[in-house]
């Protein structure tokens, strides 16, 4: 078994707070019957209706699947979807006391209609989104901040999962980062639309497109990727930046330099949906379990290589990751900079 796998035994000891935009991913599957007389469309007979954790809840689900204890904070509506999602999260072992109910909002949901039967491949034919994008109110901000203050000393690290659905107001961003730094907590940010507004963090994990949107130019060459990484690190006042590059692997930027690794099993990609949630969840669990930044990146890379072979919003479980690392080639051993540790103290 590789040296990387030794950190996995500590995952079950870790408690991670995930603050994020709460989204329900609904999958409605129907068996094709015939063409409708009303319009040139298929008629499906519904055979399944599954509600899965999406958005920030997927990061929490990945923490739980990897054996950690996830504390989830965010906002849901006072509605059936919110109640169903809370119940599903609790079934997965996720602590949901930080889910604030806002009666003025509906729970965000993405509904995917899948056509297919038990003996055929299920194919998505349409997606219907009902997403809240307005910023949460000051009263809801108060409730979220109060919960975070209550649990911050109980957890080992914090993930901010920003899908642009209104939870991360300027006040929420500032107060969470300030609290994390005051309490010496690792804080990782996965932000789709406003990465640049998170300042003084431990690490950010943008993909190539997210990084391009911040720096304003294409990352289509190694020099440009390196330029962007250093630029992001400086602008975010971060201890590290990890840019995920899809089939080109990952590149890490720290005070000690930059390190690139190739993608794990990217030739077997089936679906990249939710892979960023898997990366940040695995990375944080590895870091708080004592791994160095390069080691944690390598572990997250293996996890991403597993999840992209799965369909839909998927997770990696601890056994899958153990097998992947056990079959690896002991990457991470004897590297001169693999012992780089993060110092979870206050940053300015």
104-125: pLDDT as tens digits: 999 999 999 999 877 778 889 9
Q: Report CA-CA distances (Å) from 293 to 111, 176, 313, 338.
A: 37, 22, 26, 7
Q: Which residue, 95, 123, 89, 125, is CA-closest to 107? A: 89
Buried b (16+ CB within 10 A) or exposed e, 151-180: bbeebbbbbbbbbebbbbbeebbebbbebb
3-state secondary structure of 224: helix
Angstrom distance (rounded) from CA 68 to CA 94: 9
Mean pLDDT computed over every residue of the chain: 89
**Overall pTM surpassing 0.85 (yes/no):** yes
Q: Which residue, 279, 281, 277, 226, is CA-closest to 254? A: 226
User: Please, are residues 340 and 11 in contact by the beta-carbon 8 Å criterion?
Assistant: no
169-223: pLDDT as tens digits: 999 999 999 999 999 999 999 999 999 999 999 999 999 999 999 999 999 999 9
Domains of the chain plus CATH, in order, are 3-326 (3.40.1190.20)
Q: Residue 341: is its pLDDT beyond 80?
A: no
Q: Residue 338: is its pLDDT beyond 50?
A: no
pLDDT at 84: 97
174 Cβ neighbours under 8 A, 6+ residues apart: none
277-320: pLDDT as tens digits: 999 999 999 999 999 999 999 999 999 889 887 766 678 889 89
pLDDT band, very low/low/confident/very high, at 36 (cuts 50, 70, 90): very high
Q: Stretch 250-275: mean pLDDT, rounded?
A: 77
Q: Which residue, 216, 214, 219, 180, is CA-closest to 200? A: 180
Angstrom distance (rounded) from CA 271 to CA 133: 26
Q: Stretch 134-143: mean pLDDT, rounded?
A: 97
pLDDT at 3: 86
Of these residues, 277, 334, 337, 343, which one is catalytic? 277
For 91, the enclosing helix (H) or strand (E) is helix 80-91
Angstrom distance (rounded) from CA 268 to CA 173: 37
pLDDT at 315: 87
Q: Stretch 52-62: mean pLDDT, rounded?
A: 94
pLDDT at 328: 45
Q: Residue 270: is its pLDDT beyond 80?
A: no
pLDDT at 263: 84
Active site residue 277: yes
pLDDT at 158: 98
pLDDT at 345: 35
Contacts within 8 Å (CB) and 24+ apart, 135-143: 135/166, 135/169, 136/75, 136/102, 136/105, 136/166, 136/167, 136/169, 136/172, 137/102, 137/104, 138/171, 140/75, 140/100, 140/102, 141/169, 141/171, 141/172, 143/100
In percent, the amount of the chain with pLDDT more than 90 equals 78
């Amino acid at each position: 078994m590789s040296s990387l796998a030794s950190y996995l035994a500590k995952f079950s000891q870790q408690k991670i707070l995930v603050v994020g935009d709460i989204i329900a991913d609904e999958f409605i599957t129907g068996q094709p019957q015939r063409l409708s007389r009303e319009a040139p469309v298929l008629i499906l007979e519904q055979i399944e209706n599954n509600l899965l954790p999406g958005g920030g809840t997927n990061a929490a689900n990945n923490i739980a699947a990897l054996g950690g204890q996830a504390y989830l904070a965010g906002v849901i509506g006072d509605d059936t979807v919110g109640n169903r999602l809370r119940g599903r999260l609790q079934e997965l072992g996720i602590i949901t006391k930080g889910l604030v109910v806002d009666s003025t909002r509906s729970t965000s949901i993405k509904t995917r209609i899948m056509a297919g039967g038990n003996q055929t491949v299920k194919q998505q034919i349409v997606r219907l989104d009902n997403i809240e994008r307005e910023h949460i109110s000051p009263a809801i901000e108060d409730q979220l901040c109060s919960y975070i203050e209550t649990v911050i000393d109980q957890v080992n690290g914090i993930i901010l999962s920003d899908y642009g659905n209104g939870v991360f107001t300027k006040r929420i961003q500032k107060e969470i980062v300030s609290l994390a730094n005051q309490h010496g907590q690792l804080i990782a940010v996965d932000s789709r639309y406003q990465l640049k507004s998170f300042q003084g963090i431990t690490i950010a994990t943008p993909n190539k497109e997210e990084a391009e949107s911040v720096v304003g130019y294409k990352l289509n060459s190694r020099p440009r990727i390196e330029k962007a990484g250093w630029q992001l690190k400086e602008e975010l006042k971060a201890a590290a930046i990890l840019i995920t590059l899809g089939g080109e692997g990952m590149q890490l930027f720290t005070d000690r330099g930059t390190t690139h690794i190739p993608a794990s099993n990217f030739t077997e990609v089936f679906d990249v949906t939710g892979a960023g949630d898997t990366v940040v969840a695995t990375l944080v669990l590895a870091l708080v379990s004592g791994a160095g930044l390069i080691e944690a990146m390598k572990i997250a890379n293996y996890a991403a290589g597993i999840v992209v072979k799965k369909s839909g919003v998927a997770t990696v479980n601890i056994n899958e990751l153990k097998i992947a690392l056990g079959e690896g080639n002991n990457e991470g051993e004897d590297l001169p900079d693999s012992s780089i540790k993060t110092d979870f103290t206050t940053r300015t």
